[in-house]
Structure 1
Amino acid sequence: MSVFDIFKKLDEEKAAKAAQPIEWLVVGLGNPGSKYDNTRHNAGFRALEGYCARTGLKIDKMKFKALVGEGMLGGRRVLFVKPQTFMNLSGEAVRDAAAFYKIPPERVIVLSDDVSLDVGTLRVRPKGSAGGQNGLKNIIYHLGSEEFPRVKIGVGKKPHPDYDLAAWVLGKFTAEEQKAIDRACEDAVSAAACIIAEGCAAAAQKFNGKCRMENGK
């Protein structure tokens, strides 16, 4: 095979992928604006931003009240979504994107922070309530369903029960927590890929409760 044949084959494969319809949404939750960078509430954004840095994917087109980008994940064509409505109204962007591409709730994967999990720990769930997370609550409202998978990224519990929850989730990670949250965010996208390719049960078995905080494992 000549070099021209190789490039032709690559172009054909690229065109074939581009022709595939969007089959899944992968939504990272967070608040827009630099003041919210590195906050606990922005773990979903951070997961997608890390994926972009590793792969060159661009999530930079404004559509559906969100920044979006198309790509392959888990062998399927995916629309990556970062709602720009602020956390409490995240469901508006998800609803509009899902309606446009005719994506049912069970193929909408949401990456979000979770204050009930230690920093660096993941939990995959095929469905369920919002668990106090306002972004998930709004998505449930706008989709009219709890039947969508989510990957919860542990951002740490409040220091004590009386600590203000809003202040906690809008606070930033400590220097000691940075490596753990970065690894968890990387694993969160891998978990989403596993959900797409193998299902929620397989993803839960591989990723639930696992933390790579120590020794990079």
Structure 2
Amino acid sequence: MSPVKLAFQKFTYSTRARSSMFSKFDPLKDPLILVASIGNPSPQYDNTRHSVGHFMLERYCYKRGYTSPLEIGPYTFKIKSNPDCFMFYHNKGFMNESGKNLCEPWNEFRRFATQKGRNPVLVVLSDELDKDMGKLQIRIQNSSARGHNGLKSIQNVIGKGFTSIKIGIGRNYPGGGKDSDSVSKYVLGKFTFKEFYTLKTQVLLALTNVFNVMQTGAYIYNIQKG
């Protein structure tokens, strides 16, 4: 068993109304999954904890062969040379403006997927302070953002019809409290050597396992009740 512990939210399928930004799913069509990372701009914030989603997206694409660019409108996505059901996008701008910056790339992707006869699916990679480094949590559609400003921004602009994969960064600073100065300094700090190793090994393996099951339809169509 992988040393990475995955914390999965209980879920059920529902036909609850979705935001107009999200297409209704056709059970006869295969998914086309857009994995979008959110964080702060490169290169200033590269390898910082708050941008761990960007780091893991780039690492996964490099290791798994998603290195071919695909331009759709003014936006560039990453795919394999022999495309499968995944496309990857490194969201631009600051974390707090994730929704505004992801809205148009998502719209372009939706049109592209629909033209290809596929169900457009959005999966967001983000950081998570309240999970230890090395742990992942999957949050299905209609889940609470739980105070995460990037996810709240996406929900406010696009809606709640997306799945998120939250990558634990822990609260490994003196006191481990929630005062804003300590949190800001920590999340904007660079990874330690130990954290780099954990991300490149354990978290990469866990993320690979999650994507493997998502391509079978797991998690991506499920909606949180309430």
- Determine which structure has greater relative contact order: mean sequence separation of CA pairs < 8 Å that are 6+ residues apart, divided by chain length: 2
Q: Describe the shift of the 1:76–1:126 C-alpha distance in structure 2 as closer, same or farther (beyond 3 A).
A: farther
Q: Which residue of 2 aligns with 1:80?
A: 88
Summarize deviations over 1:74-121 as a string: whole Å, max 9, x none: x94332111112211122343212222336998211111100000011
Q: Which residue of 2 aligns with 1:188?
A: 207
Deviation at 1:53, TM superposition (A): 2.1
> 1:158 touches 1:165 (CA, 8 Å); kept in 2?
no
Q: Which residue of 2 aligns with 1:54?
A: 63
Larger Cα-atom Rg: 1
3-state SS, counterpart of residue 40 of structure 2: coil
C-alpha RMSD of the superposition: 3.2
3-state SS, counterpart of residue 164 of structure 1: helix
Give yes or no for the alignment of 1:133 onto 2:148.
yes
Summarize deviations over 1:21-76 as a string: whole Å, max 9, x none: 98221111222222312110111111111112213322766767865223499x94
Report the structure, 1 or 2, having the larger helix content.
1
Q: Which residue of 1 aligns with 2:35?
A: 26
Map 1:146-161 onto structure 2 (within 5 A).
Answer: 146-157=160-171, 159=173, 160=175, 161=177
Q: Describe the shift of the 1:22–1:124 C-alpha distance in structure 2 as closer, same or farther (beyond 3 A).
A: closer
* TM-score in terms of structure 2 length: 0.67
Q: Which residue of 1 aligns with 2:136?
A: 122
Q: Describe the shift of the 1:192–1:72 C-alpha distance in structure 2 as closer, same or farther (beyond 3 A).
A: farther
What CA distance in whole angstroms lies between the structure 1 residues aligned with 2:81 and 2:158?
Answer: 24
Task: Give the count of matched residue pairs.
Answer: 180
What CA distance in whole angstroms lies between the structure 1 residues aligned with 2:153 and 2:72?
Answer: 18
* TM-score in terms of structure 1 length: 0.70
3-state SS, counterpart of residue 99 of structure 2: helix
Give yes or no for the alignment of 1:172 onto 2:187.
no
Unaligned runs of 5+ in 1: 1-20, 202-217
Deviation at 1:180, TM superposition (A): 1.4
What CA distance in whole angstroms lies between the structure 2 residues aligned with 1:66 and 1:169?
Answer: 28
What CA distance in whole angstroms lies between the structure 2 residues aligned with 1:76 and 1:62?
Answer: 16
What CA distance in whole angstroms lies between the structure 1 residues aligned with 2:146 and 2:77?
Answer: 26
Unaligned runs of 5+ in 2: 1-29, 221-226
Stretches of 4+ aligned residues off by more than 4 angstroms:
59-67, 103-106
